[in-house]
Structures are given as structure tokens and as C-alpha cells.
């Protein structure tokens, strides 16, 4: 990896790079060992050059949004992390029957929702106060409060490994429950457009307030976490959190990793939890649910880095 570090320096990329960067600084779980190389490009040109170079050098490369849906191994990430936080900002094109909000991939998705409210544009209220970036939310097709990102997404700008930028009109048939076409692609999400409709500001504000309140009541922001560990499956008849609650597993701990007392589908870091402890707890929940209900839980959280 040092070799790639030297190459990056030689061609004098203007984007900041650090070595052995603790990923615990960049994940909502506050967990994760060092990434060999961590780069934060600030222009599309630098991003394209960096990505192309890393791929040419066959360096395994992970694209980081806000780190709100990942569990990074204690041993860290071998290869490079491209941090998208340098790409932030929104623009608006308003029409008589609504408007389109364009947002850069690193922009917090909740900020996009708040901006839509400022302009009286409805459609993104459901995602207010959810941690995560625009790029990560599209890649995951994040879903909450009965809506998915794909329902308001109209266009995505992508960057491929050769440095080419393309635009894609969204075909909703390519998206599903927490599934997006980008999960099978090596292209990076650069920018996205959301098609919104005129809304009543007071009603929108009230919906967003109650969603934030609901998240607070469920303890989402009390301890570092990554939201739901498992997906829900209608065939199970109950949300995964309820299944886990019914087994009296809330509060179960391994080291500093604990199943939240307030929500069975959330694991929290109560201090300095290790990724291995979180994974052990995940496996324990999977085993108990399998033994009692015969259901195979489907993980929503992504394991990243060098696992045993
Ligand atoms: C308290 C809390 C509550 C949560 N509640 C919900 C919820 O209600 N619903 C829900 O769906 N999720 C929820 N989550 C999980 C998380 O917020 C979402 O999955 C979010 O969409 C992740 O975005 P991110 O930017 O953090 O992505 P990351 O975790 O950084 O990355 C996730 C994936 O996206 C890829 N990626 C990120 N950016 C790009 C890009 N620009 N181009 C290509 N690939 C990219 C990464 O490589 C990775 O594979 C919650 C998390 C927390 C901490």
C-alpha cells in the first residue's frame, strides 16, 4: 500500500490523503480499525483521477458516505477509502408544479430534506433526521416511515472507473426494498436529483418534527450505532425488532456492544465496543431467531474491511 501512497504523492494529487486512518473517526458506530489510505477529494476532476489510478493499480477501494450503515473490522481496511464528504451542496430548479432538488453525493440527506421544507417542496420529509449522505442513501435505497428514496429520485450522475461521467434517468423497476442497481456496479454516485411537489409547509414541518421525535424515543441518537442491523421481512409477520424483543434479548451485551434497551433491531456502542463483539452479538441474534422462529435474518448492515 505504501507503493500506491508514493504513486499518489508523485502525481501530486491535490486531494488530502492520510495513512492508517482510524475508521472509528468516520463511522456512526465509532468503531473500526485503520484504513491503509484515506483520501478526501474535493473536485470531480481529483475524484476521477484518484479513482482511476487506484483501480489501475488494483488497489481495493471502498467508497465512504457518512459511514452510517457499516461495521468496519477491528483490523481495518486493506486498500483505499475514498471519502465523499468533500462533495456537498444543493441547487434548486423550481417549476410551477413543484421543483427538482439537485444534491451532491456527500451532502447529508437530512439537510436536503430540510432545504426542501424551506422551499415548500414535499416528498423528502420521511428521511428527515436519518443519518447518512445522499450517495449512501441512494446506494442503499434507504427506507423509513413507509417511503423509500427511489420514490422521489429522478436522476443520478455517475462516475465510472475510467473517469467517465454519465447521467441516468431513474427507472423505479430497478429498485426494491433496500435494493438499488448501484449495488451491482462499480460506479460512484456523484450527484442526484429529487423530483418534489408543492407542499404545505406547516404540515411538512409537523411530519418532520414527529419523525425526529420518534427516532429520539427509539434511542437512535443516545449511543453510537448504525441504525437497524437487519432488514424487515413481511413473511415473518412482525418487524425484526419485535421478533428480537419477544425473545427478551434487549439489553444483551458482549463487551461494550449491546442490543439497545429501546429497540431490538439496534446494537449500540456503549463505550469502546470492538467490531468483533458487535459481530458476535449479530450472530447470537441470528441464531436465537433461527432456533425459535425458523427465520433467517437478512443483514442490512454492511461488513467492511479485513475480517477473520
Ligand atoms: C441512528 C440511525 C438510524 C438509521 N435509520 C435508518 C432508517 O430508518 N432507514 C434506513 O434505510 N437506514 C437507516 N440507517 C442507516 C443509514 O443511515 C442509511 O443506510 C444511509 O443511507 C447510509 O448512508 P451513508 O452515507 O452513511 O452510507 P455508508 O454507510 O457510508 O455506505 C453505505 C454503502 O453505500 C456506498 N456508498 C456511499 N456513498 C456512495 C457514493 N457516493 N457512490 C457509491 N457508493 C456509495 C458505500 O460504499 C456502502 O456500500 C440509520 C443509521 C443510523 C446511525
Q: Quick one: how far is CA 269 from the chain centroid?
A: 18
CA distance from start to end of the chain: 20
Is the pLDDT score of 10 beyond 80? no
- E strand spans, the chain: 17-22, 34-39, 61-64, 70-72, 77-83, 90-95, 98-104, 121-122, 143-144, 147-148, 153-159, 165-169, 188-198, 225-228, 253-254, 257-259, 266-269, 302-304
Best of 71, 107, 125, 132 for a ligand 1 pocket test (most atoms within 8 Å of beta carbon):
132
Burial class (CB in 10 A: 0-12, 13-18, 19+), 12: exposed
What percent of the chain shows pLDDT beyond 90? 89
Question: Per-residue pLDDT averaged across 147-168, rounded?
Answer: 97
HSE-up of residue 167 (Cα within 13 Å, Cβ side) = 7
Pocket of ligand 1 (CB under 6 A): 28, 62-70, 84, 105, 130-133, 135-137, 139-140, 142-144, 182, 188-189, 220, 225-227, 302
User: Positive or negative, the Cα torsion across 254, 256, 260, 261?
Assistant: positive
- b vs e for 163-187, b when ≥16 Cβ sit within 10 Å of the residue's Cβ? beeeeeebeeeebeebbbbbeeeeb
Dist CA 4 CA 43 (whole Å): 20
Dist CA 257 CA 249 (whole Å): 13
* pLDDT tens readout for residues 290-305: 999 999 999 999 999 9
Best of 39, 40, 68, 217 for a ligand 1 pocket test (most atoms within 8 Å of beta carbon):
68
pLDDT tier for residue 13 given thresholds of 50, 70 and 90: low
What percent of the chain shows pLDDT beyond 70? 95
Facing residues of 244 across strands? none
Dist CA 127 CA 132 (whole Å): 10
Q: How many CB atoms within 10 Å of residue 289?
A: 21
The SS3 call for residue 229 is coil
Report how far ligand 1's centroid is from the alpha carbon of 67 (Å).
6
Is the pLDDT score of 16 beyond 90? no
- Residue with grid cell 480499525, as numbered in its chain: 33
From atom 43 of ligand 1, which residue's Cα is the shortest distance away? 188
What are the structural domains, with CATH classification, of the chain?
2-86 (3.30.43.10), 90-208 (3.30.465.10), 219-304 (3.90.78.10)
- Catalytic site residue from 113, 187, 228, 260: 228
pLDDT tier for residue 270 given thresholds of 50, 70 and 90: very high
Dist CA 273 CA 269 (whole Å): 5
Best of 141, 179, 219, 227 for a ligand 1 pocket test (most atoms within 8 Å of beta carbon):
227
CA nearest neighbour of 239 among 248, 230, 247: 230
The average confidence (pLDDT) of the chain is 94
Q: Is 228 a catalytic residue?
A: yes
pLDDT tier for residue 97 given thresholds of 50, 70 and 90: confident
Q: Is 24 a catalytic residue?
A: no
Report how far ligand 1's centroid is from the alpha carbon of 266 (Å).
15
**Phi–psi pair at 211, nearest 5 degrees:** -65, -45
Q: How many CB atoms within 10 Å of residue 148?
A: 22
Report how far ligand 1's centroid is from the alpha carbon of 22 (Å).
19
Facing residues of 34 across strands? 22
Dist CA 240 CA 178 (whole Å): 15
Is the pLDDT score of 73 beyond 90? yes
Report how far ligand 1's centroid is from the alpha carbon of 109 (Å).
10
From atom 52 of ligand 1, which residue's Cα is the shortest distance away? 227
Amino acid at each position: 500500500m505504501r507503493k500506491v501512497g508514493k504513486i499518489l504523492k508523485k502525481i501530486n494529487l491535490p486531494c488530502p490523503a492520510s495513512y492508517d486512518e482510524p475508521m472509528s473517526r468516520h463511522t456512526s458506530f465509532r468503531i473500526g480499525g485503520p484504513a491503509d489510505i484515506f483520501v478526501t477529494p474535493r473536485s470531480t476532476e481529483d475524484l476521477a483521477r484518484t479513482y482511476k489510478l487506484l483501480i489501475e493499480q488494483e488497489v481495493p477501494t471502498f467508497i465512504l458516505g457518512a459511514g452510517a450503515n457499516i461495521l468496519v473490522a477491528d483490523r481495518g481496511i486493506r486498500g483505499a477509502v475514498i471519502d465523499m464528504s468533500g462533495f456537498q451542496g444543493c441547487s434548486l430548479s423550481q417549476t410551477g408544479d413543484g421543483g427538482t432538488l439537485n444534491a451532491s453525493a456527500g451532502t447529508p440527506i437530512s439537510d436536503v430534506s430540510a432545504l426542501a421544507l424551506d422551499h415548500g417542496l414535499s416528498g423528502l420529509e420521511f428521511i428527515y433526521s436519518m443519518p447518512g449522505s445522499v450517495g449512501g442513501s441512494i446506494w442503499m435505497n434507504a427506507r423509513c416511515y413507509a417511503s423509500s428514496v427511489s420514490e422521489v429520485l429522478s436522476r443520478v450522475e455517475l462516475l465510472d472507473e475510467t473517469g467517465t461521467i454519465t447521467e441516468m434517468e431513474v427507472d423505479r423497476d430497478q429498485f426494491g426494498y433496500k435494493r438499488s442497481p448501484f449495488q451491482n456496479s462499480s460506479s460512484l454516485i456523484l450527484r442526484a436529483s429529487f423530483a418534489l411537489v408543492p407542499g404545505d409547509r406547516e404540515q411538512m414541518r409537523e411530519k418532520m418534527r414527529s419523525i425526529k421525535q420518534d427516532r429520539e424515543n427509539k434511542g437512535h441518537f443516545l449511543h453510537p450505532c448504525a441504525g437497524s442491523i437487519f432488514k424487515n421481512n413481511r413473511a415473518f409477520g412482525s418487524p425484526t425488532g419485535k421478533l428480537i424483543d419477544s425473545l427478551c434479548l434487549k439489553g444483551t451485551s458482549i463487551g461494550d456492544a449491546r442490543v439497545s434497551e429501546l429497540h431490538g433491531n439496534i446494537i449500540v456502542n456503549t463505550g469502546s465496543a470492538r467490531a468483533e463483539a458487535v459481530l458476535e452479538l449479530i450472530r447470537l441474534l441470528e441464531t436465537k431467531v433461527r432456533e425459535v422462529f425458523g427465520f433467517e435474518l437478512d443483514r442490512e448492515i454492511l461488513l467492511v474491511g479485513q475480517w477473520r
